[in-house]
Amino acid sequence: MQVGPYIYEAGTDEADIKGADTIAADVWGSEVASTEPETGEFAVAEVAALRQQYDAQLAERDDRIVDLEVEIKALTAEIEQLKAEAPDPAPAAPADYSSLDLDALKAEIDGRNEGRPDGDRISKRGSVETLVAALIADDEAQG
């Protein structure tokens, strides 16, 4: 059955059609104030206006999301570029050399002595305590 611009299911009677241009306020709960407090119903035009406002807010939100995604991509690219340009950090030395045994201390000293001139090399002679002190002194000298 067609009434005006609306098409209704078969079996729809005129009583159903009569209320089709309004929506009951109880559908909206207390969030929307009724313009017709005595009937408790909203006109379809009012609901359409609210829908347009809602759609506009959603469109603004979607635009903001797109803008933020572009900004995130730009910042991510900048971070990756800075990482690529940054010098590689020196490997961290063990905080507690005293927990290493004599062979591990000598291996650490050998690694540090590679490429150093003879006068700047760390001596591997002495006790564990002497080697620990030499490594700590080298750490402080390196900065």
Q: Give the pair of three-digit tokens for residue 68.
A: 């933020």
Q: What is the pLDDT of residue 68?
A: 97
Residue 43, classed as helix, strand or coil, is strand
Provide the residue type at 123 as one letter.
S
Helices 102-113 and 128-142 pack at an angle, to 10 degrees, of 30
**Residue 105 CB burial class (10 angstroms; 0-12, 13-18, ≥19):** buried
Mean pLDDT in order along the chain per 10 residues (143 residues): 59 57 53 50 83 94 96 95 81 71 92 90 91 90 78
Contact 45, 22 (CB under 8 A): no
Q: Give the pair of three-digit tokens for residue 116.
A: 């150093």
Q: What is the pLDDT of residue 15?
A: 56
- Cα angle 40, 42, 44 (rounded to 5 degrees) comes to 155
Please give the helix or strand (H or E) that residue 140 lies within, else none. Answer: helix 128-142
From CA 40, how far away is CA 46, in angstroms rounded? 13
From CA 107, how far away is CA 76, in angstroms rounded? 40
Contact 122, 135 (CB under 8 A): yes
Contact 10, 27 (CB under 8 A): no
